[in-house]
């Protein structure tokens, strides 16, 4: 399989080890220089891409405190949960759905048997 003489194997192993050691030294030196540069700059402020959220005016639902929970009882829901899709009567009255309509399913032609 490997028809190298023992001297050639030692030489190849030694050159591989020297190359690996050089690569390790270069990596460690780059890492050290980067660390030194970061420490020399001091603390930096990071810019925020979006404006901080402004507190919204309190509505009736937010002013109410949640209902008390009772051990072993039913989980309280104050205010009552609303469906994501209001029924047809509510939609006619002007209620808007909480979620956009689901995309139409993509269908292909049926697979023909051979």
pLDDT of 30 > 60? The answer is: yes
Residue 71 DSSP one-character state: T
Q: What tokens does 63 get?
A: 């002013």
Contact 76, 66 (CB under 8 A): yes
pLDDT of 66 > 90? The answer is: no
pLDDT of 112 > 70? The answer is: yes
Contact 84, 102 (CB under 8 A): no
Name the pTM for this structure. 0.36
């Amino acid at each position: 399989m490997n028809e190298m003489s023992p001297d050639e194997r030692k030489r190849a192993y030694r050159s591989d080890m020297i190359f690996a050691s050089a690569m390790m030294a270069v990596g460690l030196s780059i890492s050290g220089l980067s660390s030194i540069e970061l420490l020399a700059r001091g603390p930096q402020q990071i810019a925020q891409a979006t404006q901080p959220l402004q507190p919204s005016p309190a509505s009736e639902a937010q002013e109410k405190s949640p209902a008390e929970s009772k051990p072993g009882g039913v989980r309280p829901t104050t205010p009552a949960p609303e469906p994501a899709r209001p029924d047809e009567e509510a939609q006619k009255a002007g209620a808007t759905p909480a979620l956009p309509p689901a995309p139409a399913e993509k269908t292909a032609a049926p697979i023909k048997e051979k």
